[in-house]
Homo-oligomer: A and B are copies of this chain.
């Protein structure tokens, strides 16, 4: 491709874009790894976006009313790092660019949320960015409806590649955004026709324009190297009330000998290739050097938003003090002061009435008192509202006609829901939770992992959490899903035993600032076990003694959720035979692990035999508590599932799979040799 025409038509634009391209080449050469082609191909789009449209102030990267830019094609991370460096984000120094992909650098292989301001979300697993962006756009709508356009008035921009659009999650995002008419969402598709294996045509011939249009999007098709066309397309996209997709025909690895090839997708490190490409760009500066005039132009772009931000500050100050405080509190992920007292009052009421309730119904009871208090919560379900018990009367339905609605009908889209919830949490100001059946954790997994990695407090309400689901059978009965979430770092997995623990779990989940929560909730009714009202949140300790042994302590039963009442019944059987038995309820293994050694030792003293009870596989983190981390603590056994479930009424399944008080007592006695 002859670049001369491009260079001469828009020389200022060209040089700014060339700065991105050369920084990319230099950083990847230094790292000897990375993805050169995408930043080289999309530099023109990014330059026009940042220069003419993106509302931001590099000096105040967390300004709440900034536009969000999401690099869904996260492997092209050098595009983003270049932009942040060039526009003058203080953290993104040249040193960081030079240390691309090295230990300790904020310039990781893929953009990692939390590494530096300006990285709005972690991307890399393809399709996540575009689906997460849906949540950003929703949060903007919700906030705008609540606080007014004068303080909330921004766009969410996405660059997505062919990989993003092939991943199924993109369809969930596209269809949902279309239905919801998320007009502030603007997606640039890097239409370069290249994937790792070859041309896109190897695996796909989808007419992406027709596909987006079928879901109600505004679609344009442009030359992604023509700055005027890019500018005009963004103008049109901003004007429409529909979400917008701009198909940008680009050349991957533009201007290099690897242009338009799969090789160009990866790391271009050959010195000759690099110097030839730079020559084609008319670039003469040494590696990592941006000529002063070009850097100055970029820095001016980085400062462009300062005035607008100052004006915004004035407008924000015109909000009522109450509104300002609420806005700020929600952005800071602070719960209302009253939350704790509200939870306590509910706990007290429950200990007095001791209802038998499914913990999913308990969860609804909690939400009924929480949602009116926490105006920032946004609930939803992947088409299982009545089963997940996620909707409370006050929320209203989020719709184009009702942007104040705080309940989302996500459709049958667990993955898209989870990613969009992440987006809401990342945007700030709202606090998302959403439900599905626990077995379908599988569908939401990639986004749940990202929540943990990004350290954001998304709440996943996973009901029907065992064979207690009954007749729907093994496809719907989780057995390994507690294990999956517990094996994931930085994730709280709550399996509350009754309404009191459910309320405590919600309090922790909503108060968490950097940890997502999985609430594992039953379909079937369970009795209230916490009959003494305690002001303290016992669930926050992870595990505690629910009932101690009478007489000599010979056995400790450790159980979670619906199996705690089974452990209590087993204790009755054992005590009747004179076997002193403690029952430990363990609603959150991760929090128990965070307690000090003394407390853990107090709850689980060495000596007595231990039996764990959970209608799931033992691999779900049990051995640490049964055997002791370094071993030799106790003789132990486990009552749970060894394989998949079956289709039958729940009580039959518990009996057939041997998760009963009798089986538990028998295992204790076997360990004791009685």
Contact surface of A with B, Cβ cutoff 8 Å: 31, 33-34, 74-75, 101-105, 108-110, 112, 122-127, 162-163, 166-172, 175-176, 178-179, 195-198, 201-208, 210-211, 213-216, 381, 383-387, 397, 409-413, 415-416, 439-440, 442-443, 445-446, 449-450, 452-453, 470-476, 479-480, 483-484, 486-490, 617-621, 623-624, 626-628, 630-637, 642-644, 646-649, 652-653, 656, 671
- CA A216 – CA B210 in complex, angstroms? 11
Residues from chain B with a CB closer than 8 A to the CB of A412 are: 126-127, 162-163, 166-167, 195, 203
Question: A566 → chain B, closest Cβ, in Å?
Answer: 19
Question: A303 → chain B, closest Cβ, in Å?
Answer: 30
Residues from chain B with a CB closer than 8 A to the CB of A620 are: 487
The residue of chain B having its C-beta at the shortest distance from the C-beta of A207 within the complex is B214
Contact across chains for B476 and A440 when beta carbons are under 8 A apart: no
Residues from chain B with a CB closer than 8 A to the CB of A105 are: 647
Closest 7 CB pairs of A and B: A168-B168, A203-B411, A623-B623, A171-B171, A108-B647, A483-B487, A210-B214
Interchain CB contact (< 8 A) of A175 among B201, B204, B621: B204
The residue of chain B having its C-beta at the shortest distance from the C-beta of A634 within the complex is B631
In the assembled complex, 8 residue pairs joining A and B whose CB atoms fall closer than 8 Å, in A order, are A123-B475, A203-B383, A206-B214, A442-B446, A487-B619, A627-B632, A632-B632, A632-B634
Given the contacts A167-B443, A643-B489, A628 and B630 also touching, CB distance less than 8 Å: no
Residues from chain B with a CB closer than 8 A to the CB of A104 are: 648
Given the contacts A124-B475, A203-B176, A214-B207, A415 and B487 also touching, CB distance less than 8 Å: no
Contact across chains for A170 and B171 when beta carbons are under 8 A apart: yes
Given the contacts A108-B646, A475-B122, A205 and B196 also touching, CB distance less than 8 Å: no
The residue of chain B having its C-beta at the shortest distance from the C-beta of A122 within the complex is B475
Residues from chain B with a CB closer than 8 A to the CB of A440 are: 125, 446
Residues from chain B with a CB closer than 8 A to the CB of A472 are: 75, 109-110, 124
Given contacts A168-B172, A203-B410, A632-B634, 20 further A-B contacts (CB under 8 A): A74-B475, A102-B649, A103-B653, A109-B473, A110-B476, A122-B475, A123-B475, A167-B172, A168-B416, A179-B203, A203-B411, A206-B216, A442-B445, A443-B445, A453-B474, A483-B619, A484-B487, A487-B620, A489-B642, A626-B631
Contact across chains for A475 and B125 when beta carbons are under 8 A apart: yes
Contact across chains for B415 and A168 when beta carbons are under 8 A apart: yes
Residues from chain B with a CB closer than 8 A to the CB of A627 are: 623, 627-628, 631-632
The residue of chain B having its C-beta at the shortest distance from the C-beta of A589 within the complex is B619
Residues from chain B with a CB closer than 8 A to the CB of A122 are: 475
Residues from chain B with a CB closer than 8 A to the CB of A167 are: 168, 172, 412-413, 443
Residues from chain B with a CB closer than 8 A to the CB of A442 are: 125, 445-446, 449
The residue of chain B having its C-beta at the shortest distance from the C-beta of A397 within the complex is B202
